[in-house]
Structure 1
Amino acid sequence: MNVLVTGYTGQLGYDVVREGKKRGISMIGIGREDLDITNEEEVYKYVQYVNPDVIIHCAAYTAVDKAEDEKESCWKVNVLGTKFIATAAKKVKAKLMYISTDYVFDGKGEEPFKEEDKPVPVGYYGLTKYEGEKIVRDLYEDYFIVRISWVFGTNGHNFIKTMIQLSETRNELNVVGDQCGSPTYTFDLARLLIDMIQTEKYGVYHASNEGFCTWAEFATEIFTQTNKAVTINSISTEEYPTRAVRPKNSRMSKQKLVENGFEPLPKWQDALKHYLNELAQEVK
Structure 2
Amino acid sequence: MDTELLRTVSLVAQQGSFAAAARVLNVDPSSVSRAVAAAEAALGLRLFRRTTRSLTVTEEGEIYLRRIAPLLEELDAAREAATQAQRAPSGTLRMTASVAFAHECIVPHLGAFHALYPDVSVELLPTDANLDIAANAVDLAIRLGAAPAGDLISTRLLTTRYVVCVSPGYVATHPPVRKPEDLAAHDCLRFALPEFRTRWRFRRPGGTPFEVPVSGRTIIANALSLRRAALDGLGPVLLADWLVGRDLSAGRLVDLFPDHDATATDFDTGAFALYPSRAFLPRKVRAMIDFLRDRLGN
Q: Same fold (TM over 0.5)?
A: no
TM (normalized to structure 1)? 0.28
Query: Which has the higher Rg, Structure 1 or Structure 2?
Result: 2
TM (normalized to structure 2)? 0.27
If each structure's strand is expressed as a fraction of its own residues, which one has the higher value?
2
